[in-house]
Amino acid sequence: MASVGLSEVQFGVDYNQDTEQHIRRQQSMKRSLKMKFSFRTLLNMTSDQLYTLPLMVLYLTDGCNSKCVTCDIWRNPRRNMPMPLIHNLVSQTRDLQTRWVLLSGGEAMQHPQWSEIALLFREAGVRVLLLTNGLLVRKQAQQVIDSVDELIVSLDGGNAATYDAIRGVDGFDLILEGIQAVRAGGVPVTTRTTVQRANYQEIPQIIEAGLAADVTTMSFLAVDVANPFAFGQRFDHATTPVIHDSALLPEQLDELATIIDTLENRYAALFATGRIAESPQKLRRILVEYFRALHGESNFVAPRCNAPHFSTVVEVDGTLRPCYFLPAYGRLQPGGDPLAKEMNSTAAADLRRAYRTGQRAECQHCVCPLYKGARQLLGL
């Protein structure tokens, strides 16, 4: 009996040592692979070809259950991205080295299989962001908790009346209750507020509403009043920005600047920790200066952006865009070329070159730029 026991103990020691060595080798291999993938992502910045696709943006639907005054997507009869296209994209994430997928639309949560889609990507090792108007979050809170790594919710008013006036639905309390439910389940939540004439005075109330709902991060951007490629068929053709009813008036801009000054003092701790995502200086630039330029009081300054060099948008029918605000460059076809080839077509490279060299007018007044520096790209 003693010899049997000794054999078992000895085997256990050898097994543990082998296991620890195996774990260390696996961890070392993972670090090496991540470094290799990260450096390949940096290569994206050296030309107009993509070697990796860290971020994939999917329009799961092209309809919406909000009726926003600045968007015509809700006027479309809703289509859902077909599951064969989803499975095809999931199967390519490893070769593309995709780290994040953003489920968007339209309203992503109106896709009847949105949570199944999220889980397919997670099973492939891809982290899932869900961008939503929030109207279905409370009803489907557990699905969000079970299938999403981060939730991004539009919050365009500081009270129910303003929210209803902008979004066209009575949803203010509903979405805050949904956010609270998801936060209770441990999912990070970011709110995004489109600052416009109807809500700019309520920015402090929007922040307080976010704090009360335990929002992780609050972000603000200016309302877009010109882009012909995002937000449905609002315009007949691409021109310079127009003075839309949602844009702030010149006489309102000094008040907006004062509001930002007040925010800087009242919420200094939130700015310091990044709970309010944009700094006061950035808010002045992307809000006050943007609207001044819109009225011809100053020149538009093109924001820093390199999103088309590490991401692409796939629309509900497989149409491909470099980002939300630039035109299409191709389309994924059943049985056709894979995404890796389509995203490096001549048309795709030409679009990336055009935005990079300042030839795209849309980029000069873009309200939603995304920039990642070398260190951030290495961390993707």
The predicted-structure confidence for 283-335, as pLDDT tens digits, reads as follows: 999 999 999 999 999 988 888 888 899 999 999 999 999 988 888 999 999 98
**pLDDT tens digits for 339-363?**
999 999 999 999 999 988 988 888 8
- The band of 281, judged by pLDDT with boundaries at 50, 70 and 90, is very high
Paired residues of 313 in beta bridges? 57, 321
- Scan for tokens 């609207």, then name that residue: 291
Residues 6 or more apart whose CB falls under 8 angstroms from that of 171 comprise 66, 133, 134, 135, 163, 164
CA dihedral 314, 316, 319, 323 (to 10 degrees): -40
Which residue type, as a one-letter code, is found at position 61? T
Q: How confident is the model at residue 267 (pLDDT cuts 50, 70, 90)?
A: very high
CATH number for domain 53-303, candidates 3.20.20.70, 3.30.499.10, 2.160.10.10, 3.40.50.280? 3.20.20.70
CA 13 and chain centroid, separation: 49
Region 56-78 average pLDDT: 82
pLDDT of residue 241: 47
d(CA 287, CA 159): 21
Question: Residue 33 — very low, low, confident or very high, per pLDDT cuts 50/70/90?
Answer: very low
Instruction: List the alpha helices (DSSP H) in 194-252.
Output: 203-212
Do residues 322 and 348 lie in contact, with contact meaning Cβ atoms separated by under 8 Å?
Answer: yes
Give tens-digit pLDDT for 133-153. Answer: 999 999 999 999 999 999 999
Q: In this model, does residue 373 exceed pLDDT 80?
A: no
Those residues whose C-beta lies under 8 Å from the C-beta of residue 237, and which sit 6 or more positions away, are: 228
DSSP state of 187: -
Q: Structure tokens of 301?
A: 């300054």
Q: Which residues contact 233 (CB under 8 A, 6 or more apart)?
A: 72
pLDDT of 238 higher than 50: no
What is the percentage of the chain residues whose pLDDT exceeds 70?
Answer: 83
Q: Would the CA dihedral through 246, 249, 255, 259 be positive or negative?
A: positive
Average pLDDT, the chain: 86
In the predicted structure, residue 231 carries a pLDDT above the cut 80: no
Q: How many CA atoms lie within 13 A of 153 on its CB side?
A: 35
Q: What share of the chain is helix, strand, coil (3-state, %, to 5)?
A: 50, 10, 40
Tokens 């200016």 locate to: 222
Q: Which two tokens stand for residue 368?
A: 């939603």
Torsion sign across C-alpha atoms 311, 314, 320, 321: negative
What's the pLDDT at 10? 33
pLDDT of residue 228: 53
Distances from the Cα of 352 to the Cα of 85, 130, 327, 367, angstroms: 24, 26, 11, 18
Residue of 314, 308, 354, 352 whose CA lies nearest to 330: 314
Q: Where are the domains of the chain?
A: 53-303
Q: Is 279 helix (H, G, I), strand (E, B) or coil?
A: coil
Read off the amino acid at residue 242.
V
pLDDT band at residue 88 under the 50/70/90 scheme:
very high
Burial (Cβ within 10 Å: 0-12, 13-18, ≥19) of residue 299: exposed
Please report the pLDDT score of residue 71 as a whole number. Answer: 72
pLDDT score at 172: 97
In this structure, the strands spanning 150-154 and 217-222 are unpaired
Task: List, for residues 165-203, the tens digit of each pLDDT value.
Answer: 999 899 999 999 999 999 999 999 999 999 999 999 999
Per DSSP, the three-state class of 320 is strand
Of 54-68, 148-162, 241-255, 350-364, which gets the smallest average pLDDT? 241-255
Q: Which two tokens stand for residue 216?
A: 């992780």
278 and 270 Cβ atoms separated by less than 8 Å: no
Place of tokens 């730029």: 369
The residues, ordered by sequence, that sit 6+ positions from 242 with a Cβ below 8 Å of its Cβ are 225, 226, 235
Distance, in Å, from the CA atom of 210 to the CA atom of 155, rounded to the nearest integer, reads 9
Give the per-residue pLDDT at 219.
Answer: 97
